[in-house]
Chains A and B, each alone.
Chain A
Amino acid sequence: MSFLEKLLRSRVFVLTAIILPGIWPAWPILDGNPTVLADPAKFLLHHFGFVACVLLAVVLSLSPLRVLFPKSRLASALNRHRRTVGVSAFFYALIHLGFQLVHENGWPTFWIDLRKPFLLVGVATLVILSLLAATSFNAAVRWMGGRRWKNLHRLAYLAAALAAYHQAAARKIFPVQVLWIFVPLAVLELARMVRQTLKNRPRPAAAAGVSGVP
């Protein structure tokens, strides 16, 4: 087992990689970065939302990676952590909502802003993520049955699309980071679909035989 594979299999490593971005904002705040101190709540709000988007894109990339590279030991090492990464995305999104409430100084402004598709889509994303987090336990799979569980968890793709819209609409102009985060995911998903379509097609040799070329 290579060092990299060991590292990627390690739960401690993955948890550290997930938790560090949550602690990082303390640095510019303690450092007294004036741009951050101008509106710390908004800075934290955007930071936690950003990390939630990244984790959501990462967790959804894992299974296409395994399908596309079935022999890669690294892809399968990473796939051990799907639940951890997915549940972390939910927690980052939840903290993100918390800072939205801090930023808006409580519920009244939040309810007013909820009339806007921008915020409504963000809340919808979080509702989906909380459903998925709530059913992330092994017991939930047994209780729901594998098929139903899988169908429910396909909502994660909808969550990613909604998150991408929500992130893009957060700024006055289109933030390019949305593309960095979600385009690789879209490419991987597309590649997986192409691969599966090709795999499910009858083999070319058999097809040639059926067509009856003399």
Chain B
Amino acid sequence: MEKPSPPCLPGLSIHSACMNIRVPKDWELPESAATPEREYRARSRRDFLKTAGLGIAGSVLLRPGARAATAGFPSRANPDYPGTGLKVTPYNLITSYNNFYEFGMDKGDPVGNANNGWNTEPWTVEIGGLARNPGKWDVDDLVKKFGGTEERVYRHRCVEAWSMVVPWDGFPLAKLVDFADPKPEAKYVQFTSFMDPKHAEGQRSESFGWPYLEGLRLDEARNELALIATGIYGKPIPNQNGAPLRLVTPWKYGFKGIKSIVRVDFTGKEPYNTWQRLASNEYGFYANVNPQVDHPRWSQASEKVIGGGIFSGRQATLMFNGYERQVAALYKGLDLARYY
């Protein structure tokens, strides 16, 4: 198993052992990606229970470990996104510092609340709208159809001016788009998240207008960077990170990365995403990472690196979060200050 950071007090002592958070080298397969033993055992046990017709009992027994989209592992590392020069954020921080308002307002809420009876397995995604190949698909079947999962290490920049580096597992969104086969009049893809107020306490308040909704222009969705993640650190993605499948667009602020997707619709109209509807003066449709365009309440010029301890430096935020080469062409001639 990936050993998360040792018990230490980041920043409290400059000389402590905490300074050596182990960073896997680019050529290393994360230890966890090989065969996570606990996951492996959980899976075989689950299969046994299912065979024995004890599916319900099994899901109760295995609640903490039961996660969807177990197909596709181990992932192949994508050599184009090895995360060279990036310091990968420890697993326990990625999975316990989450903005997932469906499961609570504080970043420490989702790790508990999203694993308290909310079942992400089995999970069905519906493709609809202006698609020639609409239908409902099981997540595991989709992953198999797309040839398994690959690992990509991406920077992750939140609109709240903090950042992580996440080793995602997943498949390119372009594969899903091609599979759906959008009609010529489709210009956008709209994603809808789940709705389950019984298990997601945050959804009992209506002020957000659940379910969460996000969208991309079709050419953005086809960009090589756009990923549908089904895992982190070579393991099925935990519920609090958006199991069983979430969007990852590393050149955009984190809120574009809609979690726990249940619908993918192709439309001719620009989707009206959740945060834009909540505060359109602060959050737009594009949400491209841009150090020159500030949030009305704080600067976006720099970001806090998660997991570095109290006195960890900030680092300068890069245009398109450092992915200018891959995505700048998408926005040629677009006024980025106006279309934020």
Answer yes or no: are A and B bound together in one complex. Answer: yes
Which residues on A are within 8 Å of B, measured CB to CB? 29-30, 32-42, 44, 102-105, 109, 112-113, 116-119, 169, 171-173, 175-176
- Nearest B residue to A113 via CB reads B299
Distance in angstroms between the alpha carbons of A102 and B310 in the assembled complex: 7
Q: Is the interface of A mostly helix, strand, loop or mixed?
A: helix
Beyond the given A102-B311, A109-B301, A169-B297, please list 8 additional residue pairs across the A-B interface where CB-CB is below 8 A.
Answer: A29-B9, A30-B9, A36-B108, A38-B93, A40-B10, A41-B11, A109-B302, A112-B301
Contact B105 A173 (CB under 8 A): yes
Tell me the total A-B contact number using a CB cutoff of 8 A.
79
Distance in angstroms between the alpha carbons of A175 and B101 in the assembled complex: 12
Contacting residues, chain B, for A35 (C-beta < 8 A)? 96-97, 106-108, 111
- Nearest B residue to A30 via CB reads B9
Distance in angstroms between the alpha carbons of A48 and B314 in the assembled complex: 21
Q: If the complex has contacts A112-B299, A118-B297, A173-B278, are A39 and B97 also in contact, measured as CB distance less than 8 A?
A: yes
Is B304 part of the contact surface with A, judged by Cβ < 8 Å?
A: yes
Q: Mind listing 22 A-B residue pairs with CB under 8 Å?
A: A32-B8, A34-B4, A34-B96, A35-B108, A36-B108, A39-B97, A39-B304, A39-B306, A40-B10, A40-B11, A41-B11, A41-B304, A44-B310, A105-B302, A109-B299, A112-B301, A116-B294, A116-B296, A116-B299, A118-B297, A173-B278, A176-B105
- Nearest B residue to A103 via CB reads B304
* Highest count of chain B CB atoms <10 Å: which of A33, A102, A113, A172: A172
Q: Is the interface of B mostly helix, strand, loop or mixed?
A: loop
Residues of B within 8 Å of A, CB-based: how many?
40
B residues 67-82 near A (Cβ < 8 Å) are none
Distance in angstroms between the alpha carbons of A119 and B296 in the assembled complex: 11
- Nearest A residue to B99 via CB reads A172
B225 to chain A, nearest CB (A): 24
Q: If the complex has contacts A34-B92, A37-B93, A38-B96, are A172 and B159 also in contact, measured as CB distance less than 8 A?
A: yes
Q: If the complex has contacts A34-B97, A37-B93, are A116 and B107 also in contact, measured as CB distance less than 8 A?
A: no
Contacting residues, chain B, for A40 (C-beta < 8 A)? 10-11, 309-310
Contact A42 B296 (CB under 8 A): no
- Nearest A residue to B106 via CB reads A35
* Highest count of chain A CB atoms <10 Å: which of B7, B93, B278, B310: B310
Is B323 part of the contact surface with A, judged by Cβ < 8 Å?
A: no
Q: If the complex has contacts A105-B314, A109-B314, A172-B160, are A37 and B299 also in contact, measured as CB distance less than 8 A?
A: no
Distance in angstroms between the alpha carbons of A144 and B309 in the assembled complex: 46
Contacting residues, chain A, for B297 (C-beta < 8 A)? 116-118, 169
Distance in angstroms between the alpha carbons of A118 and B10 in the assembled complex: 28
Contacting residues, chain A, for B304 (C-beta < 8 A)? 39, 41-42, 103
Distance in angstroms between the alpha carbons of A35 and B113 in the assembled complex: 14
B272 to chain A, nearest CB (A): 18
Distance in angstroms between the alpha carbons of A117 and B294 in the assembled complex: 13
Contact A38 B101 (CB under 8 A): no
Contacting residues, chain B, for A172 (C-beta < 8 A)? 99, 159-160
A28 to chain B, nearest CB (A): 9
Is B40 part of the contact surface with A, judged by Cβ < 8 Å?
A: no
Q: Which one, A29, A38, A105, A116, contacts B298 given CB within 8 A? A: A116
- Nearest A residue to B305 via CB reads A39
- Nearest B residue to A42 via CB reads B304
Distance in angstroms between the alpha carbons of A74 and B4 in the assembled complex: 51
